[in-house]
């Protein structure tokens, strides 16, 4: 369909979209998380252990590693019930680093020398099928009771609780499902690059996902999708700028944050587009 | 009947050979087709691995400029198409595909980091294009990815073996301690595998093996513990700055025994950090910038002029040599550079790399071994009045 160069950029883009959506889910409930790189690492390592050492079929391994990641997500969600704002940021950051250091020293998965030899299982079709499923999921969520609960929690947690929303359940769900999605992303990543080592899943990666979401906008799930796609493609398109391209990348983010602090895509924009589109047809 | 069949076979074989020769010789003499010979380069030009990337790239550029000034390869210039990974190993996957498919390069020089090699080699293997890393030193990476992956660099076990043997013998080491950085892939390889294996071979008892982590700054507890075990020498494996600080702590506690470090330390940074305390420390390196050989001197002078007086690390040496090896293969193996022959040319380059034997370059005589790693005589170095010199 495309040249394999374009295809591989699109596959990385798809994996990044999955990761950005995994961050967006707790975000949409007002929970800021820098732990997504850690969940991704759990998914990547767990799925690789299952396919490589235990001979599980890829899709089963992918699903199970998502579940494992979700369980860890719920565990991280427990302290998050009482912790808010910048403290939560710190807690999730610390968790992400814990995961990284754990895999750095865990000999079973290769320790510092990493883990390789997985089969190539990830391709354009399965990555974007998962992206499509996630889009449907997030669309349905935004129209559902839980989605609206998330939204009210983001705006005002106390008011949401007074209105009768079960904050504990909602927070754990947001963290757990977010971690599940991140686990899927990790499994897909591991079976595309076919070699993983723990420095990859450090704090910088978590910040990268964070930037994707903030850049695209956190009001609606189209934000992280568009934001990720733009920020993944921009450095590739401006490759001719050589050493200056990362500066260009930074500049784009700075300008956007000044012009549109709410992110590129917000609810109003989506509503406007839908209205315009309805008028057209 | 059988004899007749045999003669017929011989005749056919002779004709086939003749045709092969006839087609190969004019191709080599008539010069190459196309506008330029394209070589892809994948290096990190930002991020933590930047110095390896810059040195390797400059080494290749110096070789390119020399070749083009002398008339190019087969009458056409050599062109390097450089792609930057920004030290993100997974980016190298897309870049290798871009170079092979969009730019249609004959061969790829790189990637630099072993982790990037682990990701790229399976890809280049599938695309049937040679990738040659001038720096990756983690044992076993090319062996896993036959037949298209090559590394023109000594793996850390091959570099350190001769140095360890000499170090043990010259300093009469019977008991040794090991300290290594378990959060670094290269250091862990050396500290957990290479040192123990060679010490066992040379009959040295390992009294203790301790690990440190990147960013650790206080090593007093490690040294106190090692000191209590009373070893004859200590083998270190850590990045240059950290290793130098470990040596300083040893000297501070009055532990004045011989020290040998891993390949990460064979650079000026180690001496700058360690000041006078690292005097007499040994290491091994795939190349040696202080080599008095005129060919090496000429290269080092050129390199220093273009890099503000900085001496090349082994990446510079090995990529300079790699470009010359590529030139030799193109001339010897009848590469045509015809776009129609791209896959055949790539296969010729693969065949050429397989058969590299005693290539005389600035890093000594290079031979590619059966698993695709370059083998050359490593330099055994020690610090003497603030310089790395050959250990005697």
Q: Are residues B175 and B215 in the same domain?
A: yes
Q: Is residue A257 part of a domain?
A: no
Q: pLDDT at position B25, please?
A: 47
Q: Are residues B281 and B301 in the same domain?
A: no
The DSSP line for B179-218 is EEETTSHHHHIIIIIIHHHHHHHTT-EEEEEEEE-TT---
Q: Which residue of A has its CA nearest to B137?
A: A113
Q: Is residue B2 part of a domain?
A: no
- Put simply, the answer to whether B86 touches A246 (Cβ < 8 Å) is yes
pLDDT tens across A149-177, in order? 999 998 888 899 899 999 999 999 999 99
Q: pLDDT at position B302, please?
A: 94
- Put simply, the answer to whether A111 touches B94 (Cβ < 8 Å) is no
- Put simply, the answer to whether B183 touches A246 (Cβ < 8 Å) is no
**Res. A73: pLDDT tops 60:** yes
- Give dist(CA B264, CA B366) in Å, integer: 21
Q: Across the strands, what pairs with A118?
A: none
Confidence of residue B26 (pLDDT cuts 50, 70, 90): very low
Q: Is residue B261 part of a domain?
A: yes
Integer-rounded Cα Rg, in Å, for chain A is: 19
CB A49 within 8 A of CB A110: no
The CATH number of whichever domain residue B117 belongs to comes to 3.40.50.2300
Confidence of residue B184 (pLDDT cuts 50, 70, 90): confident
The count of other CB atoms within 10 Å of the CB of residue A36 is 33
CB B269 within 8 A of CB B243: no
Q: How many helices (H) and strands (E) does chain B have?
A: 13, 15
Look over chain A and give the mean of its residue pLDDT values, rounded to a whole number.
91
The count of other CB atoms within 10 Å of the CB of residue B15 is 10
Higher per-residue confidence, A2 vs A121: A121
Q: Is residue A267 part of a domain?
A: no
- CA within 13 Å, CB half, B349: 32
Q: Which residue of A has its CA nearest to B181?
A: A112
Residues in chain A: 281
Q: pLDDT at position B16, please?
A: 60
Contacts of B290 (CB under 8 A, 6+ apart): B387, B388, B389, B390
- Put simply, the answer to whether A5 touches B119 (Cβ < 8 Å) is no
Q: Are residues B358 and B247 in the same domain?
A: no
- Give dist(CA B153, CA B144) in Å, integer: 16
**Res. A15: pLDDT tops 90:** yes
Q: Is residue B12 part of a domain?
A: no
Q: pLDDT at position B28, please?
A: 44
Mean pLDDT on A5-11: 92
Question: Three-state SS for B266?
Answer: coil
Considering B285, B304, B321, which residue would you say is the last residue of a domain?
A: B285
- Roughly how many angstroms between the first and final C-alpha of chain B, as a whole number? 69
- Give dist(CA A106, CA A162) in Å, integer: 45
Which range scores top for mean pLDDT: A267-271, B246-250, B285-289? B246-250
pLDDT tens across A86-121, in order? 899 999 999 999 999 999 889 899 888 889 889 999
Mean pLDDT on A115-139: 94
Residues 362-391 of B with CB under 8 A from A: none
Q: Is residue A263 part of a domain?
A: no
**Structural domain of residue A182, as residue ranges?**
4-203
Q: Are residues B222 and B252 in the same domain?
A: yes
**Res. A279: pLDDT tops 90:** no
- Put simply, the answer to whether A112 touches B86 (Cβ < 8 Å) is no
Q: Is residue A90 part of a domain?
A: yes
Query: B64 φ, ψ to 5°?
Result: -60, -45
Q: Are residues B166 and B277 in the same domain?
A: yes
Q: pLDDT at position B166, please?
A: 93
Tell whether A236 lies on the interface with B, counting CB pairs under 8 A: yes
Q: pLDDT at position B29, please?
A: 45
CB A88 within 8 A of CB A157: no
The count of other CB atoms within 10 Å of the CB of residue B271 is 20
Residues of B with Cβ-Cβ distance to A117 under 8 angstroms: 144
**Res. B12: pLDDT tops 90:** no
Q: Is residue B29 part of a domain?
A: no
Q: Across the strands, what pairs with B233?
A: B176
- Roughly how many angstroms between the first and final C-alpha of chain A, as a whole number? 30
pLDDT tens across A183-199, in order? 999 999 999 999 999 98
Residues of A with Cβ-Cβ distance to B185 under 8 angstroms: 112-114, 197
3-state class percentages of chain B: helix first, strand second, coil last, to nearest 5: 50, 20, 30
Tell whether A278 lies on the interface with B, counting CB pairs under 8 A: no
Q: Are residues B175 and B125 in the same domain?
A: no
- Whole-number percent of chain A with pLDDT over 70: 100
Q: pLDDT at position B140, please?
A: 87
Confidence of residue B11 (pLDDT cuts 50, 70, 90): low
Q: Are residues B54 and B81 in the same domain?
A: yes
Among A202, A204, A183, smallest CA distance to B183 is for A202
Q: Are residues B326 and B245 in the same domain?
A: no
Q: Are residues B100 and B189 in the same domain?
A: no
Quote the number of domains for chain B. Answer: 2
**Structural domain of residue B135, as residue ranges?**
37-154+292-377
Strand order in the sheet with B149-151: B78-84, B37-43, B107-109, B131-133, B149-151
pLDDT tens across B66-96, in order? 999 999 998 899 999 999 998 888 999 999 9
Q: Is residue A106 part of a domain?
A: yes
Q: What distance in Å separates residue B384's CA from the closest CA in chain A?
A: 33
Write the ipTM: 0.86
Q: Is residue B53 part of a domain?
A: yes
Q: Are residues B296 and B147 in the same domain?
A: yes
Q: Is residue A239 part of a domain?
A: no
Nearest by CB to A5, from B84, B102, B189: name it: B102
Confidence of residue A21 (pLDDT cuts 50, 70, 90): very high
- Give dist(CA B123, CA A11) in Å, integer: 14
CB B169 within 8 A of CB B150: no
- Whole-number percent of chain A with pLDDT over 90: 63
Q: Are residues B273 and B369 in the same domain?
A: no
pLDDT tens across A206-252, in order? 999 999 999 999 889 999 999 999 999 888 888 787 778 778 888 98
The count of other CB atoms within 10 Å of the CB of residue A52 is 18
Q: Are residues B320 and B356 in the same domain?
A: yes
Q: Across the strands, what pairs with B180?
A: B211, B237
Q: Is residue B204 part of a domain?
A: yes
- Give dist(CA A263, CA A224) in Å, integer: 9
The count of other CB atoms within 10 Å of the CB of residue A197 is 23
Q: Is residue B211 part of a domain?
A: yes
Quote the number of domains for chain A. Answer: 1
What CA–CA distances, in Å, run from B320 to A123, A168, B332?
37, 62, 19
Tell whether B140 lies on the interface with A, counting CB pairs under 8 A: no
pLDDT tens across B255-310, in order? 999 999 998 888 888 998 898 899 999 999 888 888 888 999 999 999 999 998 88
Q: Is residue A262 part of a domain?
A: no
Q: Is residue B220 part of a domain?
A: yes
CB A99 within 8 A of CB A33: no
Tell whether A195 lies on the interface with B, counting CB pairs under 8 A: yes
Q: What distance in Å separates residue B87's CA from the closest CA in chain A?
A: 10
Look over chain B and give the mean of its residue pLDDT values, rounded to a whole number.
89
What CA–CA distances, in Å, run from A89 to A20, A32, A76, A83, B72?
16, 6, 12, 9, 57
What CA–CA distances, in Å, run from B43 to B107, B303, B325?
14, 18, 19
């Amino acid at each position: 369909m495309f040249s394999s160069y374009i295809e591989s950029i699109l596959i990385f883009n798809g994996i990044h979209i999955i990761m950005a959506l995994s961050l967006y889910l707790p975000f949409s409930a007002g929970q800021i998380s820098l732990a997504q790189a850690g969940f991704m690492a759990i998914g990547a390592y767990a799925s690789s252990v299952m396919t490589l050492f235990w001979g599980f079929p890829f899709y089963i391994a992918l699903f199970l590693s998502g579940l494992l990641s979700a369980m860890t997500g719920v565990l991280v969600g427990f302290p998050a019930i009482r912790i808010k704002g910048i403290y939560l940021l710190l807690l999730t950051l610390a968790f992400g680093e814990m995961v990284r250091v754990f895999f750095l020293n865990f000999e079973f998965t290769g320790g510092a020398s990493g883990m390789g030899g997985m089969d190539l299982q990830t391709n354009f079709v399965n990555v974007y099928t998962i992206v499509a499923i996630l889009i449907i999921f997030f669309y349905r969520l935004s129209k559902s009771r839980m989605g609206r609960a998330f939204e009210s929690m983001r705006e005002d947690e106390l008011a949401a609780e007074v209105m009768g929303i079960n904050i504990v359940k909602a927070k754990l769900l947001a963290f757990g499902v977010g971690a599940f999605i991140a686990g899927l992303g990790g499994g897909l990543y591991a079976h595309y690059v076919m070699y993983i080592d723990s420095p990859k899943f450090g704090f910088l990666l978590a910040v990268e996902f964070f930037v994707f979401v903030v850049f695209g906008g956190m009001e609606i799930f189209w934000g992280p999708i568009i934001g990720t796609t733009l920020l993944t493609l921009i450095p590739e398109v401006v490759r001719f700028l050589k050493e200056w391209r990362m500066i260009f990348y930074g500049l784009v983010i700075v300008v956007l944050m000044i012009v549109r602090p709410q992110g590129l895509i917000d609810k109003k924009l989506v509503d406007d587009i839908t209205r315009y589109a309805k008028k057209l047809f | 009947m059988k004899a007749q069949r045999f003669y017929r076979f011989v005749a056919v074989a002779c004709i086939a050979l003749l045709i092969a020769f006839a087609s190969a010789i004019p191709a080599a003499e008539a010069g190459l087709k196309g506008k330029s010979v394209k070589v892809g380069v994948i290096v990190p030009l930002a991020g933590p691995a930047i110095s390896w990337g810059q040195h390797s790239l400059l080494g290749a550029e110096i070789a390119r400029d020399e070749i083009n000034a002398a008339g190019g390869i087969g009458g056409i210039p050599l062109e390097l198409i450089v792609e930057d990974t920004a030290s993100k190993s997974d980016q190298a996957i897309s870049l290798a595909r871009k170079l092979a498919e969009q730019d249609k390069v004959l061969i790829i020089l790189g990637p630099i980091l072993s982790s990037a090699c682990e990701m790229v080699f399976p890809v280049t293997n599938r695309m049937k294009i040679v990738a040659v890393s001038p720096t990756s030193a983690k044992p076993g990476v090319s062996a896993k990815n036959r037949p298209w992956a090559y590394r023109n660099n000594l793996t850390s076990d091959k570099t350190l073996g001769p140095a360890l043997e000499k170090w043990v013998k010259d300093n009469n080491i019977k008991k040794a301690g090991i300290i290594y950085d378990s959060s670094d892939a290269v250091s862990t390889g050396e500290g957990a595998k290479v040192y123990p294996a060679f010490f066992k071979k040379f009959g040295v008892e390992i009294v203790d093996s301790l690990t440190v982590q990147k960013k650790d700054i206080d090593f007093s507890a490690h040294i106190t513990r090692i000191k209590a075990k009373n070893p004859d020498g200590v083998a270190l494996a850590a990045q240059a700055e950290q290793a130098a600080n470990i040596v300083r702590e040893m000297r501070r506690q009055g532990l004045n025994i011989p020290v040998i470090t891993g390949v990460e330390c064979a650079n000026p940074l180690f001496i700058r950090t360690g000041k006078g305390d690292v005097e007499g420390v040994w290491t091994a390196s795939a190349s040696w910038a202080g080599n008095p050989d005129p060919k090496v001197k000429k290269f080092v002078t050129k390199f220093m002029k273009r890099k503000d007086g900085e001496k090349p690390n082994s990446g510079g040496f090995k990529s300079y040599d790699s470009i010359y090896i590529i030139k030799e293969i193109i001339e010897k193996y009848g590469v045509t550079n015809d776009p129609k022959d791209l896959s055949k040319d790539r296969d010729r380059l693969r065949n050429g790399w397989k058969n590299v034997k005693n290539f005389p370059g600035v890093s000594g005589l290079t031979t590619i071994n059966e698993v695709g790693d370059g083998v050359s005589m490593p330099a055994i170095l020690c610090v003497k009045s603030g310089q790395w010199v050959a250990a005697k």
